[in-house]
Amino acid sequence: MDVKKLEEAEEEASNSKPLLNTSTSTSHSNKPTLLLNFIACMSLITAVTFAILFFSLSPSSSSSSTTTARPLKKLPHPVVLLISSDGFRFGYQFKTPTPNIHRLINNGTEALTGLIPVFPTLTFPNHYSIVTGLYPPHHGIINNFFFDPITGEKFTMASHESKWWLGQPLWETVANNGKTAATYFWPGSEVIKGLWTCPLRFCKHYDGSVPFEDRVDTVLEYFDLPLDEIPVFMTLYFEDPDHQGHQVGPDDDEITQAVSRIDGVIGRLINGLEKRGVFEDVTIIMVGDHGMVGTCDQKLVFLDDLAPWVDITPNWVHSYTPLLAIWPPSNHSAADVVVKINEGLSSGRVENGNKLRVFLKEDLPQRLHYADSNRIPPIIGLVQEGYKVEQSRTGKKECGGAHGYDNAFFSMRTIFIGHGPQFARGRKIPSFQNVEIYNLITSILNVKGAPNNGSDSFPQSVLLPYA
């Protein structure tokens, strides 16, 4: 029960006007005074009793009445299942009835205005930040595609060599602590690092054709193992609704259908855990990696329009949109290129030029944490929300969705839902960056984590302590 709310209710009751006027003449009998005092006392008691009942049953205060984590009933140790729904923009949970997702929300802890992704708000950088607690320059995955500046090798989403993947992801942390992890798809999970060997039994190589239901059923089968063999940490990944978002933008009926499908597979998971009697024991953390915003043809900036100031040729450009990344040849000063580009953009003679701003990477806003890596090209352009950068006019008609923009845009936010023994029921917490999730999970599992960019105190501000 919220003591402060009760005190406020008591104060409100004591300050309220009486139903009857209690001011009487001293010449009158004291019986009416006693009666009125009795009525006032009863009114106060009634008000306080109502306040106690109301606030004790209020979802917003239910978490405050729980001071410690709920004990495990069947599992001998904490188990965390980390679920990603790719491109699940914050607010999608309200586009259509999502009873299963809302069951997790109502009986768990939710980031009230969404989870903040790292910059750039792209799939691989964010998924790897979630499991390492590191910003992209520190874990090495600075884009979905990029080049090694020394060897010239190209990183793609199919690159599984450990040299690309820095930091220590959670499955490696768990293995290094002598425990078992299982991954059903997650960027970086197929990479052999430390004591993590991507075991065939517990490490699924990415295959987007596998039905979502099959993925859920495989994870549920892990709970049929002997109790001491159940992995303590698991991942589960779904491509939707990102797939649809790129094709039709965030407001189309296809998104509504995709969200409904995700809710359905979450329901399948919950039902399976309940049949096994472990739903309340398992910690489920459901997140997305980024949001989505609509884009259309009229929201374009063309690099060829900058030719009067500087000729940006395609071989200079490592990434066009929404993150513009330029690496000029060694005989060109990056600083001079930035000056010339911004001169052209601010001239008024470049279509939508005022929608793009170009920086030397070291001059980017520090809040982006996007400078401290030699993998990041020296010139980075930030385009306004919903705009895209292209080399030249092609006449191609396109109107869909995109992400990768500045993580300050609310449209880039995604969801965070925590449900389990250490998450208070019905609690809302402020938005936070996804680099905090690593320490949150290591705290739940009580394993020693690796150094990261998250806050050591964050888990204590979110989790219920064990008794």
CB of 255 closer than 8 Å to CB of 87: no
Nearest to 130 by CA among 96, 100, 85, 63: 85
Catalytic residue among 123, 180, 183, 295: 123
How far apart are alpha carbons 154 and 146 in whole angstroms? 6
Question: In whole angstroms, what is the distance from residue 128 CA to residue 136 CA?
Answer: 8
For residue 113, count CB atoms less than 10 angstroms from its CB and return exposed for 0-12, middle for 13-18, buried for 19 or more.
middle
Q: How far apart are CA 354 and CA 308, in angstroms?
A: 17
Which tokens sit at 329? 């040849």
Active site residue 123: yes
How far, in whole angstroms, is CA 167 from its chain's centroid? 19
DSSP class of residue 429 equals E
What is the distance between the alpha carbons of residues 200 and 240, in angstroms, rounded to a whole number?
25
Residue 144 exposed, middle or buried by CB count within 10 Å (0-12, 13-18, 19+): middle
CA distances (Å), origin 215, targets 40, 55, 210, 211, 316: 63, 41, 7, 7, 41
Catalytic residues: 123
